[in-house]
């Protein structure tokens, strides 16, 4: 049963670079930054006044019933939109399939923070009777998965794993595992986030996690650069459709790539800081290689978690060198697309896996922009500033979350 193969047949995303896959991918390979001064709220009171905002997004057209969009938190709106795009891209006709064999796993690291902030204000200012009855279902982190299942009539396994910034990779990896085990044939899976809000900005800034390069938004997210000073918040969603191979072939689906490995581990070290020796992420990478039956030197490209924080980028460099040995500095390309999107938190792994899949499809590795003086402690080939045209057969996407959660997902060219 574990020999069941799993392939990617559809992709959809909403990001600071664009509200669809093609615009986002074009932004990534041309090295365009999606970071700018915040417009959704007045950023003046905050230390960090910049973010990777989703722009010109209209949710109504993505819901079967437009009023459902208005009863959904922004993170859910992103998730539904990305799912609709992924399903359309996959060409799947749900009416011809067994709905109990089609699942949904779309998570969020923080959930409906906008709803929580707004309704808390209502409660304080106008009293508890004025709080919306939709408050709880709008803010909980599992509701995106629930609503997506309702939109498509999908009755298979339905969950939402929450592991902060590793959320997308865990949802994708566990969906892969469920298909491998035989309990489903297809999944919509990924992550979504919308927390560019007073509480989100204050919370991250006060723990000194955010960049304060407010006068140069496009240069603020600079993974692996010696002068990085923190991450930049992003928002959006990224979702893929994965299917058991024979299920996809039976309906004549196009296949982007094969999902061949998934590794998970914990640092068991600190609330927010990574383990300095990189051993936790290294173990996750090694597990993904083991599941995929690949050697370190088989991997061509690694999309790094690399958020542009002082400790994190160095710890991940150590993890990569532990896991890949000699290959880490002799042939492996490693880039951080967060340099362009900012850190999309629970959605980060999804968009970064999509970037890895597109690197395989198009033979182009997206760059790490803003590398002006590479940190000697991050001595990897980080594809600085310009995309690189090179054949990519196997790629890994890393995602790590507060609490020490690590997840690595490996994809390969489909054969």
Which residues does the annotation mark as catalytic? 165, 305, 343
Distances (CA, A) of 32 to 29, 35, 369: 8, 9, 8
Cα–Cα distance, 380 to 207 (Å, whole number): 28
Cα–Cα distance, 45 to 24 (Å, whole number): 31
> Cα-atom radius of gyration of the chain, to the nearest Å?
20
Helix (H) or strand (E) holding 409: strand 405-412
The one-character DSSP state at 222 is -
In sign, the C-alpha dihedral spanning 367, 25, 343, 158 is negative
Question: How would you label 259-283 residue by residue, b for 16+ Cβ within 10 Å and e otherwise?
Answer: bbbbbbbebebeebebbeebbbbbb
- The answer to whether 204 touches 210, Cβ cutoff 8 Å, is yes
Give DSSP secondary structure letters for 291-350: HHT--GGG--EEE----S-HHHHHHHHHHHHHHHGGGGGTT-EEE-THHHH-B-GGGHHH
Cα–Cα distance, 51 to 237 (Å, whole number): 15
Cα–Cα distance, 382 to 188 (Å, whole number): 31
Helix (H) or strand (E) holding 405: strand 405-412
Helix, strand, or coil here: 381?
strand
């Amino acid at each position: 049963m574990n020999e069941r193969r799993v392939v990617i047949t559809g992709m959809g995303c909403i990001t600071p670079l664009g509200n669809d896959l093609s615009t986002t991918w074009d932004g990534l390979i041309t090295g365009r930054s999606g970071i700018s001064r915040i417009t959704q709220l007045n950023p003046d009171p905050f230390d960090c006044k910049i973010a990777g905002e989703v722009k010109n997004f209209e949710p109504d057209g993505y819901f079967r019933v437009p009023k459902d969009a208005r009863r959904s938190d922004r993170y859910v709106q992103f998730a539904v939109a990305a799912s609709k795009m992924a399903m359309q891209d996959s060409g799947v006709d749900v009416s011809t399939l067994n709905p109990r064999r089609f699942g949904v796993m779309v998570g969020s690291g923080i959930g409906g923070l906008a709803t929580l902030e707004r309704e808390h204000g209502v409660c304080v200012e106008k009293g508890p009777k004025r709080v919306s009855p939709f408050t709880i279902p709008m803010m909980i982190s599992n509701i995106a998965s629930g609503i997506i299942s309702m939109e498509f009539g999908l009755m298979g396994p339905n969950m939402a794993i929450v592991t902060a910034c590793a959320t997308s990779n865990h949802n994708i990896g566990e969906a892969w595992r469920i298909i491998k085990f035989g309990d489903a044939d297809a999944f919509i899976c990924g992550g979504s986030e919308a927390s560019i809000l007073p509480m989100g900005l204050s919370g991250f800034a006060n723990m000194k996690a955010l960049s304060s390069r407010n006068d140069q938004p496009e240069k603020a997210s600079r993974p692996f650069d010696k002068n990085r000073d923190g991450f930049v918040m992003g928002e959006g969603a990224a979702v893929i459709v994965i299917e058991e191979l024979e299920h996809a072939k039976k309906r004549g689906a196009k296949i982007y790539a094969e999902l061949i490995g998934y590794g998970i581990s914990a640092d068991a070290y600190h609330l927010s800081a990574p383990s300095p020796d990189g051993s936790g992420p290294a173990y996750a990478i090694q597990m993904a290689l083991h599941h995929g039956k690949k050697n370190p030197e088989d991997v061509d490209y690694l999309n790094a978690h690399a958020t542009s924080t002082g400790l994190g980028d160095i710890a991940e460099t150590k993890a990569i060198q532990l896991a890949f040995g000699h290959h880490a500095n002799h042939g492996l390309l490693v880039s951080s697309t967060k340099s362009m999107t900012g850190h999309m938190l629970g959605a980060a792994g999804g968009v970064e896996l999509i970037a890895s899949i597109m690197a395989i499809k198009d033979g182009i590795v997206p760059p790490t922009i803003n590398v002006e003086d590479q940190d000697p402690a991050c001595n990897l080939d980080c594809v600085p500033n310009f995309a690189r045209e090179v054949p990519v057969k196997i790629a890994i996407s890393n995602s790590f979350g507060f609490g020490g959660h690590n997840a690595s997902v490996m994809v390969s060219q489909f054969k």
